Amino acid sequence: MLKLRILKPFLMGRSNGGEISWLEYLKHFQTAWGWDVKVWTALPESVKEFTPKFLKQFGVELQGNNYEINSVRCEISYSPKFHPTNLESQAAMEAFFLEKIDQDKPDHIWAHYTDFFASSSAMKWNPDRSWIHLTDDEYPRLDRLKDFGSLYSSYQNIKNIIVASSYMQQSAEASFPQSKIHKLMRMIEMPDDPASESWPEFWLFVNPVKVKGLEFMLELADKLPDEKFVFVGNWEDQKPKILPRNVQYIPRQKNLLALFSKAKALLMPSVWQEAFGRLPLEAMSAGTPVIASRRGGLPETLGSGGIALEFNHEDWIKSMRQIESQRDLWVNLGQMRVKEYRKALSASLQSYKELCEAKVDAKL
């Protein structure tokens, strides 16, 4: 049984698309491949009292210093010496993670590129069997770490970078040779069949914050006063202060499937250079057309199953009308894209599995 351990300086939740995909990966590794998977988390003592509340929002109960989320086991350790970004914490956190590794003897380690002390610990253990995930194009340039001494040295030893899209692969090539970069496509929760037939009622926008295109969406709603828009928040304090009359705000939803089934389309005018963008695939799998911005990995995720546009309201309105008049066509195109993605994902996962097993067999 191959043993995988994940090093984290933050709690593992379902706060964003990246975390959700990690949890889907780890669950798959356990259930489909029979791997032994566990998350080790090093947290400051000061956050201990807030931990139960944070986990509760995901329906997770803390049992001592352990919890389980998405069938993945997680173990927490606290110390006043731990801090995710303070350089004074580097030695303590590296010592903690390296001791855990020495005691448990895993076959592979996962860490995130911006979880600096987790990544540096993995590099000091075994660069050949440590996998560093890169999900943001702001961070790959190593020269930004030159003022951080041993941290910079550790990052120079990285041998395995994981990215989720060709867009992020190109970004990673700014600092790493192509041979070190591995594309592992995102695990997405996609229903096997589209949602049941229903009459579309509104245009859907998820996570109404500035970097996701809030200003653009508010202007779009103003230009279409006879159309109904639904904004789905991610956090309790996320509701915009002023909303047009034709915009309904609803709080965070554990499952968007019911909303997808009633939406004319998912609108995703992200300003952020999305590393991948999971929502379009979730929507298309539910039979909901998608219009998204040409940012980061979104065009690649959409493929020919959705519409990718620049930030021009008239173009978006034209595409919205096109979807209304040719809905069946766009639903079918979305379904075709989902099937295409599932096939590519299966091949991507199998390739990664074989690579991990080969490294263990070769005793790298």
- Please tell me the distance from the alpha carbon of residue 247 to that of residue 200, in angstroms, as a whole number: 16
Look at residue 49 in the predicted model and tell me its pLDDT. 94
Look at residue 116 in the predicted model and tell me its pLDDT. 87
Look at residue 270 in the predicted model and tell me its pLDDT. 96
Between 234 and 100, residue with greater pLDDT: 100
Q: Is 107:37 a contact under the CB 8 Å cutoff?
A: no
Burial 16-53 (b: 16+ CB within 10 A, else e): ebbbbbbbbbbbbbbeeeebebbbbbbbbeeeeeebee
Q: Is 149:143 a contact under the CB 8 Å cutoff?
A: no
Look at residue 74 in the predicted model and tell me its pLDDT. 97
**For 272-300, how does the pLDDT look when each residue is reduced to its tens digit (9 = 90+)?**
899 899 999 999 999 999 999 999 999 99
Domain 202-343, what architecture? Answer: 3-Layer(aba) Sandwich (3.40)
| Fold match between domain 3-184 and domain 202-343 | yes
Domain ranges of the chain: 3-184, 202-343
% of the chain exceeding 90 in pLDDT: 73
Instruction: Residue 322: count other Cβ atoms within 10 Å of its Cβ.
Output: 15
Per-residue pLDDT band at 199 (split at 50, 70, 90): confident
Please give the average per-residue pLDDT across 199-205, as a whole number: 92
The helix (run of H) or strand (run of E) holding residue 329 is helix 327-361
Per-residue pLDDT band at 241 (split at 50, 70, 90): confident
**For 104-134, how does the pLDDT look when each residue is reduced to its tens digit (9 = 90+)?**
999 999 999 888 899 999 999 999 999 999 8
- Please tell me the distance from the alpha carbon of residue 230 to that of residue 167, in angstroms, as a whole number: 30
CATH number of 3-184: 3.40.50.2000
Residue 236 has pLDDT above 70, yes or no: no
Ranked by mean pLDDT, which of 135-149, 188-202, 229-243 comes out on top?
229-243
Q: What is the pTM of this model?
A: 0.88
Residue type, 282: E
Work out the mean pLDDT of the chain and round it to a whole number.
91
